[in-house]
Structure formats: structure tokens, C-alpha cells
Chain A
Amino acid sequence: MLAATEALDAGEGAKFLLVFSSPSYDLQELTAGVAAAADGLPFVGCSTSGEISTSGPGDNTVIVLCLGGPGFEVAVASTTDASDDLRRAGARAAECMERVGDKGHRVLLLLTDGLAGDQQEIVRGAYGVVGAEVPLVGGCAGDNLEMKRTFVFHGEHVMDNAVVAVALTSDASLGIGVSHGWRPVGSPMLVSHSSGTRVLSLDDEPALDVYLRVLNAPAEAHTDQAAFTHFAQTHPLGISRRSGEEVRFVADADFADRSLGCIAPVPQGGLAWIMEGDIQSVLAATDEACASALAQLAGLPPLGFVAFDCIARRGVLGSEGIKREVDRISQQAGGAPVAGFYTYGEIARTRGTAGFHNQTLVVLALG
């Protein structure tokens, strides 16, 4: 397996591999190949909706990042059947943190099946185990926007409906940056009826009707699921939080009951806005996330960046825009390798307890 071999050749004292692969490959075969090349090293990864590497954004590629060095230690765990009890799945995976020491800096990296249900529950479960002491970072696997089945890998095990966690500890700093770049449009609306991730009505009107009307959505989005998802990618919902609004990716529409499906829960009784973004605001957020991650490295140059970038941002930026975005990330990395993928939801908990995001860029800077 070329990518894995190259990654291993480049890294001395390799301890661990991170693999982001397009679902267009036979993932079983792919992980078997990585396992052969890795020669016993642990590795985890997931399927994507587009990959990010130092050379730019890509589709139908495989990215392998090799992490290692003397001051570095990892432990890996995974749980399956996550949707039976998401909180428990997050907690069980997070237990791997208890198997590594503390070299001064720690982070728990989570890769999840974003189609398994409320991802904040997974984050709550993980937070319940590791507490505020350990930042959480990661993303939800993708399937090229088909929204059918996404996979995470724990070594050669390719699993859907699963959570895989990596406990990282290092004697060098680890920085996490988070930013989105969306702004609310129009006046706030009351979420008059919602159930988990489904929004049934806004201001007592069917949610889908309000959404299509306020955004003046194109005709095909009124009837066609694929057209709707494409349109909704760049028009998330924002829900009110103490420090501003939190973004919710709108994934699908039910044309029969006129409801909206989101990737994370939208609480009933809360306020919601429809949000919009443009290339400038999204790129500004890229700079902000990278800068904030770098700032936590205490002035040291980064050894690598791992980027979890929402598929919806890709929708706003377009194919030219994502090249510019990845260029900017690479510039900020200052020549250090960049690996990442386009996600169905991002995880970053550095402050507070909430750690699941939508439509956001999360950058992990390895010092």
C-alpha cells in the first residue's frame, strides 16, 4: 500500500497511522493493505466525502498520516452498534484514555458514524469518562454526500454504526482551533415542534415550508431530495446559545410531513435562525481556526495539522474555493504535513461541555 508505505518511510519512530479514504475504494481491501504496510502499528480511520492533504483537496484518494516520536503515546478503542446507546458508545470508546499515561498534553480523537444519531450524545458519553481535563477532537465519517452508509476503521475492522477513539498523549503541545463563518438571516423563529434531530414546525408552521420560503429556495429543492440536500448544504440552521448561535446542518426534507432533518438535535422551545455564508466568511473562518490552533503550541512550529472540515463548507466554497482553503491551511502549517477530510459533523471540545459542531472547521495542530 503505497500511501501507507510512504507515510511510514517519512516518519521515524512511527507509533500510529491515521487513514482517511474515499468510500470509492474497497475499504476491506484498503485496510488489509494498510495493515500489511503498517506491520503491527495501530491505525484508525474513516470513509470521507473528500480528502484533504498538503497537496490540496482531493476526491477518490487515500490520505495516511503517520504519527510518532519518543514523546508520543497512543491507545485505540472502538465500539459498534452505537445507535443502540450513543452515550454509552462514546463512553466505552473513550475508556482508552485510561490506558495511556499523561505526557503533559492529551487529546481524545473521535471518528464516528455521523448517520448513527445524535452525535452530542457520543460527546457527552466521552466527556463523562475523560472530563474537562482532556480536549475532544474529531469528525463524522462521510460517503461522498450519499448519506447512506459511512464507515470507521479500527485496524482492519471496517465498521458502520460505530465509534473509534484514539487517546493521544504527547510531551509537546497540542492545539485545537474551531471556527465556522456563518451568519444568521432574518428574524429568529421559535422551534414550535421538534423531536430529536427532526424539526417539524417553526413558528407553528411546517418547518420545511418556512425554510423554503425564507430562503426563496429554487423550485427543484421543493420536490427533489437530492436537490434539497444540495441546497441545504449551504443553508444551515442556527440555534441560540449563550455565546452566540450554534450551527445545525440540514440534511434532508420530508416532503410528506413537511419536516426538516438535521445532523444534530434542534431542541423544541428554542430559538432558531436560518444561516448563510459566503466564500469570504468561510475562508476567514479557516484562518481563524488555524491561527487559534497554532496559538496553543506556545510559539513552536507545528509538526502537522489534522483538519476536520464540514462538507457544507465545501459546498459554499466550490472546487476553486476549497483549493484556496487547503492552500491557506498548508501555509499556516508552514510546510508541516496536513491531513484531513470533509465530514458530516465535527467534534471539538476545548471549553464548556458541548463539543459537537456542524458546518465548522476543526483543526488539530500537533506540536
Chain B
Amino acid sequence: MESDTSWSAHQLTEFLAAVSSVADAPAALRAAVERAAEALEAEVGALVDVNGVVSSVGFARDRVPDAELRAAAAARDSYLDVPGVGRCDVLSVAFEELDGGRLLVARSGSGPYGPEERNLLRGLARVLSLSLRGLRVLAEERRLRVESERQAEQNARLFSSLQERQELLVQLALIQRLISTRAPIDEIHAAIARGVAELTGDQMVGLRWLNPDRPGWLEMIASTGLTPELRDATRHSGPGAGAGGRAAAEDRLVVIEDYSEASDALEPMVADGVTAAMAAPVHENGRVAGSLAVASREPGRRYTPVECDILTAFAEHVSLAMTDASTARALRDALDSARHDAMHDRLTGLPNRALLNDRLTAAFHRAVRQQAGLAVLFLDLDGFKLVNDSLGHAFGDQLLTAVAARLTSCVRLVDTTARLGGDEFAILLEDIKDPCEADRVGDKILAALREPFALAGQQITISASIGVAVHSHVEEVDDLLRYADLAMYEAKAAGKGRHRRFEQVMHSRSLARLDIETALRRALDEHQLVVHYQPIVELKGGALVGTEALVRWQHPQRGLVPPVDFIGVAESTGLIVPLGAWVLAEACRQTQAWADDHPEGPPLSVSVNLSAGQFQPGLVETVAGALADSGLPPHQLVLEITESTVMANTQAALHLVHRLKELGVRLAIDDFGTGHSSLAYLRRFPLDILKIDKSFIDGVASDLKEAAFAHAIIKLARTLGLGTVAEGIEDAAQAVKLRSLRCDFGQGYYFARPMAAEQLAELLGRRTLRPPQSRSA
């Protein structure tokens, strides 16, 4: 079978998984000995140290030959007589975690051990010591947890070393997969370099191979995080030079801290600002074949024992991988697809985030060096989630693919269009002369997306919000994408379907948003929110018929914060859901409380605004709960929805609205006339009340044309059998005019401003607010 050669590499992964899953050190040792014997198909496995046998399998438990095992572990090419089995060949390797520790296996009849098996056992020993340290860390962490906060920092460090162990597994599995899928050797090398970089957090990794034609010289065959200059300068290195050279020459782990002081430091590395380096030897068929090195520019970098072990374990794994990969060289046909898959998004075929980051890093350094221009566009589709939810994921996928094609058509071949995930894309523009070029590409993309997409027999349009960052905005390459993202957010907040270039002020705005978000969360917890009520009156007689509930934030320092300052943040963070639910419950409770206090008069209704963010599963239950908890009769609750809420996602919204209606509540359409004012949805939605926006009221008494508009809306509402409420009435003239136009109800400063519940309670006795019969001059 072709894959026979990779059995050992994945045995190591299995072994690591097995010993990592146990709870304590004795169990880990026992599992390790058992699994080592199983991996090498040996009858005997044992771990010995200076004091004797620590753990063993293969002997009747009361007849473990302590002295023989220790002798066999110490000698080279030894054998062991195992009762019932006979003479068994012994393979043993050092296990440095224990004083004089050795891990050994002994087996019968399979002939001598091959180099791959020797490597495997050594790898197992390394991995075991890594796991043991992890377990000690875990035990330590448990103990420290009791000591609490004093050790918080230490805990964090310990915790992260546990995570490292998990990460190691993930990285090893990745390399395992590349080997098993016969990925080209370059790709395996690259994955190794990347894996080490991720595990150690060091920027620079180099995998060097001994040059067979030049004894002692090493050739860099894969690296990550090195500038092109540095890569050129360190492509060949002499015998024993640098950490990597010494690790290969001395066949051991080499750690160099205070790199610039080291006598054997590589000059170009020192010039590049390297502060520390560490390297482990890599073996091929039992002999040193090269080294795996990491280097850091972080001042005062020190390597922990866990990090030393991670690098060693990784290098062991590389050794095993090479045994297989060298035979895999012939099988390069998987090269293109494997490389492509690793760096591309499956759905759209565009480069993925990883490839974008690679290209971005390279382009950034090029741009800095050549003083050329570089820009990143961060693009997020507007309302894609709604498309996905209402038309299905398959449709959403088709749309993403079609969007990807349009984006690609908007840029040059040299530019990179990548899908970052979900409905997020990024475009890397290289060699631009002027930031305005990036804006022009943004315009071009917005125009291209404006054309409807014909998919699955449907026409659909979707807009996008785009943020632009150019390299002069940033010092670190990592900031480019982040800044473009911030700018995208601002484009969204400014009304979507547009692009925005990053400005420093966006930073502070984003911090301010965060600030509000945090404060708002606290406000919810600490009951800083209050509901105010604005009376709604019958225009005919001035009778108080209901209120509109409006949320206010009583900030302990800032005083009363108007909704405009926090509702947007609540919407974008999802806080709108708990906030909205609270307002609803409070408004229902208060309205019923007034009814209980004043059983003599007709009960008031209460209008509560529903925002787009609340239109999701659970809304109906929330409303039903508020009604049930308060005892408010459903028809006294009016839910106000806006045009934009229902327009955005007609199908899903319609469904929810019908379910709300089934509860018996009334529905009002808010701000009618300001949006698209589609008659179609006025007919399709089961509405009861139409609220006329203040902008139509302002001129109603003074401007004939305005009055005609208002009249038309009122007539429309009456035709459809809807009640009408005029919003923002500020003077008597407006009130009189509206009454003459047969508008039913009104609200506004002319009658009363929004007020606290206690103030409103005082009005309840009166029940009539400024009947508009008489006009004051």
C-alpha cells in the first residue's frame, strides 16, 4: 500500500491525542507506555528512570523484571528475554523529563528496528514530555485557582501553554493531512514553517536542509516572516552558523537568547533586529538532515520549556514527514489542486483570507520599499443575511458567487479579490498612483452591483458598503484590513450602498461606539433606562386616548441621553432585542397600572416602536409574554413598525406580522410617507393605523401643497379602513387643519411632550388636552 510509509507520522499524532486526553501524570505515563508498544507492535513497553521501572506493559504484573529492563534500556542494540515470548529486540530512547529516563519497547520476530521506528519512538518520548509538562501545568493551574487573583497573570500564561498543546495537535494534524493527501513537498515545508510560527508566536521561521554537495552548509527550503532581503541573505549558511546551523551540527536543541551578543549569530539576522532564536535538528532516516529554527524581534524574548518542547516535537514530526515526503516527490500531480484549495475559498474560487494576507504582506513591503501606492477595499454586502434567511442558503451562495464574478471584473488582473468569509470581500489594489484611484474602483464596484442579478428565475439587487484604506494610513500591514473594515462600518452607518475612505477620526468614533455599547449593557443591567410617554389625543374632542412609549436613558453622568445616540448602537450590537423587550414589558405594565388606578374612564392604548433588529424569531413570544405578564388587553397595545423594517424583508416580515396580529394587538405603520410608501405593502400588511410623519405636518396649515399631500394620505388611509395619527403637531393651526382633513388622532408638543409616567398619571384625571376648537391668536 502506498501509504505504508506514513504510518509512523500519524501514529505520533494518535499518540499525542491519547496521552493528551488523560487526567493525570501516572495515567499519561501508563497510556504512553501502552501506546508506544502498540504503535511499534511490540510486546513490551516500559519507562525507566534512575530509581527503576516507572511504568511497563508486557509482563505479568507481579513479575516485572526491574533490573533487566533497566539494563536493556541503558545498553545499545540490546535484547530482552520475555517470558512466553522469547527473545525480543529492544529499542530505547532518552526521556528527559525523568532523571535518567528512557522509553523502551521490545518485540519479537519482526527483525531489527528501522530508522523510521527509531525516529517514531524518539518523537513519542518528546511528545510525552510535552504532555507531562502540560499536565503539571494543569495541576498547577488547579492549585493556583484557589489562590485566586494574585496569580491571575500566571494563570493566563499557564492556560495559554495548555492551549499551545491543543494548537500543536491541530498543526500536526494539518501537516499529517498534507502528507496523506500527497501534497507537494514545498507545500508541506510551507505548512511546517507556518505551523511553527503560529505555535511559538515568533515572526520568523526557517526550515533548512543540509546541502549534500557542500558538507555542513545549509540551504533554506522554506521560511515565513522573513523579508525578501533577509531571505536572500540567509539562503545559504555555513557549518555551525546561527541557531539552525548549530542545531544541525550538534544534533540537539539550540536556544540563543540575546541574539546580537551571540558569537555564532548570523549577521543579516542581527541587522534585521533579531533578539532571540531557537532551533531543533530535523532527521531523515535517522541522520541529521537539517534544522527547524524560529527567531523573534521581540525585545527580551525568552523561550519557555514548553516552547522548547513544541519546537522539538514539531521537528520530530517533520523528520517523520520527510521520510514519507521524499517518496512522495514523484506524486506531484496533486500539487495544483492542493495548493489551490489551501489558499482559496471553496464557494467562489477567490483567494481566501490566508492568501490575501500573504499577498498583502508582500505588497505592503514592496510598497514601502518602492514608495508605491497600495490600497485595500473592505466590502460587505448590505442586507445579505435577509437574502439568505428569506431565499435560502443555496440562493445566497449563488448570489455570493455572482457577486464575486462582478468584483473580479471591476479590477485589474494584478489586483487580488478575496472572500474573507460570509458576505465579506476584500480587494487589494497594488501600484496605485493616488488614493482617488481606490475611490474610483469603489465607484465602479457600486455601479456594477447596481445591475440586478438574475438568479434561479429571480431578479435581485444587492448593494454593498465599502471601506477603503491606503497604506499611508498605517504603520503595520495588519492595520490595513482593520482600518478598511472600520471605514466600511462608517459607510454602512452613513446609509449603506456607498464607500468611505478611512480617516483617523473613525478610530475615535469606533471607540466611542464601543464606549456606548459597554455603557448601554450596563444601563440594561442597572436599570438606567426609563420609558417616557407622549400623549395621543383625539383631534375631534381633545380626549386623551393613548400614549406612545419612548425609551430614555438616564445616564448617571451624562443625564438623559436621547434615543438617537444609542438606538443605532443597540441595533448594530443586537442589544436592541433585550432593550426592546424591556420597553415593551414596561409599557404594557404601566398602561395596565393606569387602567387599574382609573377604572372610571375608557382605558388608554399604548404604542410601542419595533425596530428592524427586533424582527426575528422570538418576537411574537416576547409580545405575548409582555401582554400576559401585565394583563393588558391585546387591542390596547399598538405596535409601530417602520416602512424600512417591512420593506427590507417583505416575506419574513409579513409572516411575523401576521403572527403578531393573531395575538390581537393593533399595528401601526410609523413615519408613513418618508420612505418608498409602497401601496402594495399597505394592502398586504394587516395594518390598523397609519401614522403621518411630522414632515408632512409641518406645513399643513401654511402651505396648500403640503395640505394636499396630508389630505391624500388621510384619504388613502380611510379608503383602506385605517385610523390616522398625525405626528409632531406643534401648534393649534396644524391641529385644526388636520381635524378638518378628518385626521383621527394627533400627538406633538402642542398637546404634550413625552413625559415620565408619574407626570402622565396627573393627566389621567383630566382626560382632555387642549381641545382644538379655539385658535389662540
Contact = CB atoms under 8 A, between A and B. Distances in A.
B3 A131 contact: no
A107 to B, nearest CB: 11
Interface string B42-65: 111100000000000111111100
A18 B550 CA distance: 83
A33 interface: no
A269 B40 contact: no
Contact of B83 (A131, A240, A268): A131
A128 B57 contact: yes
Given A133-B83, A270-B10, A242 B40 contact: yes
Contacts of A192: 173, 177
A13 to B, nearest CB: 26
Interface in B159-176: 169, 172-173, 176
B58 A268 contact: no
Contacts of B457: none
Contact of B17 (A129, A130, A267, A353): A267
Interface of B: 1, 3, 6-8, 10-11, 13-14, 16-18, 34, 37-45, 57-63, 82-85, 107-109, 169, 172-173, 176-177, 180-181
A190 B177 contact: yes
B57 A133 contact: no
A268 B37 contact: no
Nearest to B6: A271
Contacts of A98: 60, 62
6 contacts: A127-B58, A188-B180, A241-B41, A271-B180, A352-B43, A354-B38
Interface in A90-145: 97-98, 106, 124, 127-134
Contact of A133 (B16, B37, B60, B108): B60
Q: Kindly name the residue among A184, A190, A192, A354 whose own CB sees the greatest number of chain B CB atoms within 10 A.
A: A190
A243 interface: yes
A188 B42 contact: no
B41 A129 contact: no
A132 B59 contact: yes
Contacts of A124: 34, 57
Given A124-B34, A242-B40, A352-B37, A131 B7 contact: no
Contact of A243 (B41, B83, B173): B41
A203 B13 CA distance: 16
Interface residues of A, number: 33
A202 to B, nearest CB: 11
A184 B83 contact: no
Contacts of A131: 57-61, 63, 82-84
B647 to A, nearest CB: 37
Contact of A190 (B38, B169, B180): B180
Contacts of B3: 188, 240, 271
B42 A352 contact: yes
Interface in A148-207: 184, 188-190, 192, 203
Contacts of B44: 132
A130 B64 CA distance: 11
Given A129-B61, A269-B17, A270-B13, 13 more contacts: A130-B60, A132-B84, A133-B59, A133-B82, A133-B85, A188-B3, A192-B177, A242-B39, A242-B40, A268-B173, A269-B172, A351-B41, A352-B107
A131 B80 CA distance: 14
A190 B173 CA distance: 9
A190 B40 CA distance: 20
Q: Kindly name the residue among A242, A244, A245, A267 whose own CB sees the greatest number of chain B CB atoms within 10 A.
A: A242
Q: Kindly name the residue among A130, A184, A240, A353 whose own CB sees the greatest number of chain B CB atoms within 10 A.
A: A353
Contact of B84 (A127, A133, A271, A354): A133
Contacts of B45: 353
Contacts of A97: 60
B63 A351 contact: no
B69 to A, nearest CB: 12
A268 B10 contact: no
Contacts of B41: 241-243, 351-354
Nearest to B64: A131
A241 B8 CA distance: 8
Contacts of A242: 7-8, 11, 39-41
A242 B37 CA distance: 12
A23 B104 CA distance: 46
Given A132-B82, A353-B45, A269 B37 contact: no
Contacts of B43: 132, 351-353
User: Top 7 A-B pairs ranked by shortest CB distance?
Assistant: A133-B84, A269-B13, A132-B43, A352-B41, A131-B59, A267-B14, A131-B60
A267 B44 CA distance: 22
A241 B4 CA distance: 8
A70 B11 CA distance: 46
A132 B61 CA distance: 11
Contacts of B40: 242
B472 to A, nearest CB: 40
A87 to B, nearest CB: 9
Given A132-B59, A133-B60, A269-B172, A351 B108 contact: yes
Nearest to A134: B84
Nearest to A97: B60
Nearest to A106: B84
A124 B176 CA distance: 27
A76 B441 CA distance: 83
B58 A240 contact: no
B527 to A, nearest CB: 42
A269 B58 contact: no
B83 A270 contact: no
A231 to B, nearest CB: 25
A22 B60 CA distance: 35
A353 B17 CA distance: 19
Given A131-B58, A132-B44, A353-B42, A240 B10 contact: yes
Nearest to B10: A270
Contacts of B62: 98
Contacts of A130: 60
B58 A132 contact: yes
A192 B180 CA distance: 12
Contacts of A133: 59-60, 82-85
Interface string A266-277: 011111000000
Contacts of B84: 106, 131-134
A228 B169 CA distance: 33
Nearest to A183: B1
A131 B6 CA distance: 29
A274 to B, nearest CB: 14
B181 A190 contact: yes
B63 A270 contact: no
Contact of B7 (A127, A241, A353): A241
A127 B60 CA distance: 8
Contacts of A271: 3, 6-7, 10, 180
B344 to A, nearest CB: 15
B329 to A, nearest CB: 18
